[in-house]
Structure 1
Amino acid sequence: MAVSEVSGSPLVMAFFTVLLTVFSTGSSNDQVPLVLWSSEGYTLPPQTPPAAGHIVSSSQLDSYLSSILSAAPQNVLVFLQDKLSVDDFTMFGGVFGNKQDSAFPFLESALRSSPSPLMLPALSWAGSTAVLGVLQQHLGIPPLYLDPSSLAQLRLNASVPTLLVIRLPYSTGTDMMSPKDALSGNDEVIGQVLNIMKAQAVPYTAIYTALKPSRVIHEVSVGVQSVGRSLLQAPAGPYAPVMFKEGDKTCILMWAETLTVSLLQDQKWNPHELGPQTFGQSPTVTLTGSFCNDTRSRLVLNYQNVLGFQNFRLIFSMSRSFYKVSARDWFTLDQVELEYDGQKATFNGSRNIYAPAEYSYRCESVTNFRYPLLVPRLPTDNATLWRVSFNDFQIQGFSVTGQDFAYASDCAGFFTPGIWMGLLTSLLMLLILTYGLHMITQLRTMDRFDDPKGPAISVPQTE
């Protein structure tokens, strides 16, 4: 689909003018945009766009997608970029930013040709991570990750719903590729996919969004903290962590990029993202039941209406002990509990979730199903019906000072796969060098030589 194939109209240009106005309003510090459109000839149900500066939450996104998917084509394409912000459109877009040299010709062409595109300029960061979960819940099928070459070999059926995910990278521009070049490359991938769908004559609904914003501004006061310490003590994300206070003193801190719980219902996992209710500008979580002392800490997060349960609690239990071998105090995350309408699911923290008592604990991913750090307490427990996933998780239950985390003890092991490969390669090269030196030291000169004045050696010839 080339740009020249789509002719502009007053209605389309008016749409982009309103779009640019919405783009130019508000901040993109902690939100990602979401663009939704359908193939030509398929009009989506009319949607009321959010007001300028309004941040769309996960629940509002669910409402938008529920209304659209009821009438939209059931072959859904999700172009999921690693990072994306509204500023990427305003800086590098043609129609979006009123520039001639656009990084999104195929995307802008698709939006022009779509009868009723939808733009959500400010989708909450936590809401963007729940897009696939919402789509999976409405379509009733798991996502299929592929690239354009794999899609060309796949034969789609308009009557059978599919959820296809095409991952798109993003470059920061510090080393090899500038952000504009990366966005242009991703736009070409979008064009390839749309051309394949057009060639197969399969109607589709397309979504373009990202997992994280590409531009997140953190305000750190250098005058209050020293430079070396602020790098490890700064807040973990754009929103403040959950803080529980005992009196006037903060004693528990917890933050995560996403807090996802999934319940097995009708042979499929139904996810729910707790991040917007826990963090953000207006969290609704309460900490009733939490406590802390010198040896034990308990953080209780109370929610309402989670996966059909009126009362839902997420509980983190931590303890502090002195170990003679290291001659210091350590704290461990002993259990993570889910309590829902009188029932309970308990996960033990195994022995891998620990840190010095004066440190915080941080891990890129804490789950019970993929490289699990959490294990069911009992094989017959309700924990087998639940999946929990905490991304970019950080917690501190002891020795909290102020509102910032202490130095983080990361869960990543010292001997990573890269380090092991380097060590094994170095060992192999050392063995080869040792063998070569050994061969050289074993060289000896001959102690007997032939007499050049003697008779020549004759070799009889046979015919």
Structure 2
Amino acid sequence: MSRSRCSSRVSLMAFIGLFIALFSTESSAAQVPLLMWSSDSLPPLASPAAGHITSNEQLTAYLTSAFGSGPNTVLLFLQDKLSKEDFTVFGGVFGNKQDSAFQNLEAALQSSPSSVKLPALEWSDSSATLALLQEKLDVSPVLVDADTLSHLSINTSASNLLLINLPYCTGFDKSCKQVLHDNDENIGKVLTVMKDKNVPYTAIYTGLQPSRVISETSMSNQPAGRSLLQAVEPSVKPPIMYNLSGNPCIMLWAQNLNISLTSTSEWIDLAAETPSLAGSFCNSSYSLLVLTYTSGHILSFSMSRRLYSVSARYWFTLDSVQLQSNGRTASFIGKRNIYAPAEYSFHCQSVTSFRDALLVPTNADQNTTQWRLNFIDLQIQGFGLANGTDFSYASDCAGFFTAGIWMGLLTSLLMLYIFMYGMHMIMQLNTMDRFDDPKGPSISVPQTE
């Protein structure tokens, strides 16, 4: 009886392990979305269930039925990177349609007689979709844009594969939403040209590779039994870098650049946006980093480099931070500890203007005195950059004797005092002069009345 129960448990555990392994392997596959629409009609395709990943074999079978007979003109909008999260974050198609960056794409999908939406297409190679279309149409792709397409003569008696490359945000010049909005404008221009030419077409919008890859560790490689949860560290965003004549000049990185325009308003994190660096400047003695955001806020960091005769070396200081919003300006000057050797960078875990303030407002305007700054994990360097990828050695704003060090020192001194007091008490102990010997006469103690 016990053997049968044991074998049943082993079989059940083996089945569960196989199921988990298959599920985890599927969830870890990289995916790209694919949108397809036509000016004529497409074969019907049932909407995939939530969480379903469309395989390349399923896509091949569907394209075979879509391009089965006759010539076809295919517009392939191939973006450098694309994931479903780009739609859910920036609105449209799979996400919130308010303030969407894909208005032309949505209009094309709604106005077309038929369309197909694949939120998760299995991705293995950046050229898989293009190679598949070349095989089905038996033609080579022609790289075009809206301008060249307007002057291109399209032969509808033969198949055509028109390739339109679209960029993706790099995090330096434009925000991702702005880049996707510009791509959507290009899609709209191309579709307008095709409509003016009165050429029937089938359009496909997808990505060369995923912009966000969410992978999960396969549970088949994990030991059986209970294990502690592990936190996955988020990817580190690149620092803001200003180049002068191709040479790195100023670098800044912060986990959060929080600002608040009133004492009761919510914090606005400017680090979540991609700024423009227009107006920045640097030379051997002065650096100015100007961060202009699409939300209308402008944040400026002014730094200077000078020789101090006492230390006989050059130091740089963060002289002021200026915030502009809604036509008003507030300036904050560095109070203390915002300095470092000229060849170093400056780092501080917290730079604020309201609690343990390192920045002090200088404006007398009552409206701007309520403005607050809170920079988390700030690192900045305005001089002595050796390359454009790494900061120099960081000079931290924290003093050597921090609160934790003081607590450790005081606790150690207290324990040392207790130990020395105990040793002193032990050293003062004395033995008795006489002892009571049970074999000899007893010690008599005279009694007094």
TM-score, scaled to structure 1: 0.45
Considering only CA atoms, is the larger Rg found in Structure 1 or Structure 2? Answer: 2
TM-score, scaled to structure 2: 0.47
